[in-house]
Structure 1
Amino acid sequence: MVNSNYYMMDFLYVTPTPLQAARAGNAVHALLLYRHRLNRQEILPNLLMGMRPLCSAQYEKIFNTTRVPGIQKDYIRHLHDSRHVAVFHRGRFFRLGTHSRNGLLSPRALEHQFQQILDDSSPACPHEEHLAALTAAAPRGTWAQVRRTLKTQAVEALEAVEGAAFFVSLDSEPAGLSREDPAASLDAYAHALLAGRGHDRWFDKSFTLIVFSNGKLGLSVEHSWADCPISGHMWEFTLATECFQLGYAADGHCKGCADPTLPQPQRLQWDLPDQIHPSISLALRGAKLLSENVDCHVFPFSRFGKSFIRRCHLSSDSFIQIALQLAHFRDRGQFCLTYESAMTRLFLEGRTETVRSCTREACNFVRAMEDKEKTDPQRLALFRVAVDKHQALLKAAMSGQGVDRHLFALYVVSRFLHLQSPFLTQVHSEQWQLSTSQIPVQQMHLFDVHNYPDYVSSGGGFGPADDHGYGVSYIFMGDDMVTFHISSKKSSTKTDSHRLGQHIEDALLDVASLFQAGQHLQRRSRGLGEEDSTHRRGSLSNQNEGRKAPGMSADL
Structure 2
Amino acid sequence: MAEARSIAMVNMGLAARRSGAVELFTSDQGLTIKITIPKPKMMARSLKRKYHVMRNTLLYSFFPLGILSVIAVVALFIAVVLGSDRSSWWRSGRPATIIWYAACAMPGFELLPLTVQLVGLATTAGLASCLAVMVVQRYVLRMLLNWTGWLYVPRGQKPWRVVAWSMAVKALTVSAKQALTFSLQGSLPRLPVPSLEATTRKYLESIEPLRDEGEMAEERERVEAFLANEGPTLQRYLWLKSLWAPNYVTDWWEKYVYLRGRSPLMINSNYYINDSSMYRPTSSPAARAGDIIEGMLEYMRMIDHETLEIQMVNNTIPLCMEQSRRMFATTRVPGLEHDTLVHLEAGESRHIVVLYRGVFTALPVFYKGHLLDGYQIENQFTCLQEAVDAYIEEHGEPGTAGKIGALTAGNRTRWAEVREEYFSSGVNGRSLEVIERALFFVAMDPAKPANDTDMGRLNLTGRGYDRWFDKSITMVLYANGVMGVNCEHSWADALCPARMVEHAMTRHFNQKVFDENGSVIPRDGFTKRVPYQGTILPWDLPVAAQAAVEDAVLAASALIADVELQLYQHPWGKGRIKGCRLSPDAFVQMAMQLAYYRDQGELCLTYEASTTRLFRNGRTETVRTCSSAVKAFVEAMEDESVPASEVRAALQTAVDGHVLKFKDAMSGRGLDRHLFALYVVSVGRGIESEFLAQAISSEWRLSTSQQPQRQTDNWDPSTNPEHAQRVSSGGGFGPVADTAAYGVSYMLAGEHTIYFHVSSKVSCPLSSSTRFIKNIGRALDDVLALFDEDAQ
TM-score, normalized by length of structure 1? 0.89
Counterpart for residue 343 of structure 1: 611
User: Which residue, out of 275, 286, 289, partners 2:555?
Assistant: 286
Counterpart for residue 49 of structure 1: 314
Q: Deviations over 1:256-297 (max 9, x none)?
A: 187555134111111223332332222211111111111010
User: Which residue, out of 383, 406, 412, partners 2:674?
Assistant: 406
| 1:169 is the counterpart of 2:461 | no
Counterpart for residue 546 of structure 1: none
Distance (whole Å) between structure 2 residues aligned to residue 145 and residue 161 of structure 1: 18
| 1:456 is the counterpart of 2:727 | yes
| 1:295 is the counterpart of 2:564 | yes
User: Which residue, out of 468, 475, 487, partners 1:221?
Assistant: 487
Measure how far apart 1:519 and its partner are.
6.5
| 1:477 is the counterpart of 2:743 | no
Aligned to 2:400, the other structure's residue is in SS state coil
| 1:108 is the counterpart of 2:378 | no
Q: What letter is aligned with 2:538?
A: Q
Q: Residues 522-541 of structure 1: matches in 2 within 5 Å?
A: none
| 1:419 is the counterpart of 2:687 | yes
Counterpart for residue 252 of structure 1: 518
User: Which residue, out of 84, 89, 98, partners 2:365?
Assistant: 98
Q: Deviations over 1:55-80 (max 9, x none)?
A: 11001011111111111111111111
Q: Deviations over 1:24-74 (max 9, x none)?
A: 111111100111122222222222233211111001011111111111111
Note closer, same or farther for the CA distance 1:246–1:62 as it changes in structure 2 (3 Å cut): farther
| 1:194 is the counterpart of 2:470 | no
Q: Is the 8 A contact 2:406 2:553 kept in 1?
A: yes
Measure how far apart 1:501 and its partner are.
0.5
User: Which residue, out of 705, 722, 736, partners 1:465?
Assistant: 736
| 1:205 is the counterpart of 2:471 | yes
Structure 1 residue runs without a partner (length 5+) = 178-185, 521-556
Distance (whole Å) between structure 1 residues aligned to residue 790 and residue 272 of structure 2: 33
Aligned to 1:202, the other structure's residue is in SS state coil
Answer 1 or 2: which has greater helix percent: 2
Distance (whole Å) between structure 1 residues aligned to residue 297 and residue 586 of structure 2: 36
| 1:132 is the counterpart of 2:405 | yes
Q: Deviations over 1:302-335 (max 9, x none)?
A: 1x21122222222111111111100110111100
Q: Is the 8 A contact 1:512 1:519 kept in 2?
A: no
Note closer, same or farther for the CA distance 1:382–1:151 as it changes in structure 2 (3 Å cut): same
Distance (whole Å) between structure 1 residues aligned to residue 513 and residue 711 of structure 2: 19
Q: Is the 8 A contact 2:409 2:464 kept in 1?
A: yes
Measure how far apart 1:98 and its partner are.
0.6
Counterpart for residue 274 of structure 1: 543
Aligned to 2:669, the other structure's residue is in SS state coil
Distance (whole Å) between structure 2 residues aligned to residue 309 and residue 389 of structure 1: 17
Distance (whole Å) between structure 1 residues aligned to residue 288 and residue 445 of structure 2: 12
Structure 2 residue runs without a partner (length 5+) = 1-265
Q: Deviations over 1:325-370 (max 9, x none)?
A: 0011011110001000000111110110100001111111000000
Q: Is the 8 A contact 1:461 1:473 kept in 2?
A: yes
| 1:499 is the counterpart of 2:766 | no
| 1:32 is the counterpart of 2:297 | yes
Q: What letter is aligned with 1:361?
A: A
Q: Is the 8 A contact 1:17 1:215 kept in 2?
A: yes
| 1:510 is the counterpart of 2:777 | no
Note closer, same or farther for the CA distance 1:263–1:19 as it changes in structure 2 (3 Å cut): closer
Q: Deviations over 1:365-387 (max 9, x none)?
A: 00000001101110000001000
Measure how far apart 1:242 and its partner are.
5.1
Q: Deviations over 1:110-161 (max 9, x none)?
A: 1111112223221443421111111111x21221222223120323211211
Distance (whole Å) between structure 2 residues aligned to residue 80 and residue 444 of structure 1: 25
Q: Is the 8 A contact 2:509 2:715 kept in 1?
A: no
User: Which residue, out of 350, 353, 367, partners 1:83?
Assistant: 350
Distance (whole Å) between structure 1 residues aligned to residue 789 and residue 298 of structure 2: 44
Aligned to 2:401, the other structure's residue is in SS state coil
Distance (whole Å) between structure 2 residues aligned to residue 428 and residue 443 of structure 1: 33
Q: Cα RMSD (Å) of the superposition?
A: 1.7
Counterpart for residue 523 of structure 1: none
Q: Is the 8 A contact 1:408 1:428 kept in 2?
A: yes
Measure how far apart 1:244 and its partner are.
4.2
| 1:393 is the counterpart of 2:666 | no
Aligned to 1:445, the other structure's residue is in SS state coil
Q: Is the 8 A contact 2:318 2:614 kept in 1?
A: yes
Q: Is the 8 A contact 2:611 2:619 kept in 1?
A: yes
Q: What letter is aligned with 1:195?
A: T
Note closer, same or farther for the CA distance 1:161–1:53 as it changes in structure 2 (3 Å cut): same
Distance (whole Å) between structure 2 residues aligned to residue 421 and residue 438 of structure 1: 33
Q: What letter is aligned with 1:474?
A: Y
Q: What letter is aligned with 2:721?
A: N
Aligned to 2:626, the other structure's residue is in SS state coil
Distance (whole Å) between structure 1 residues aligned to residue 293 and residue 594 of structure 2: 42
Higher relative contact order (CA 8 A, sep 6+): 1
Note closer, same or farther for the CA distance 1:458–1:163 as it changes in structure 2 (3 Å cut): same
Counterpart for residue 384 of structure 1: 652
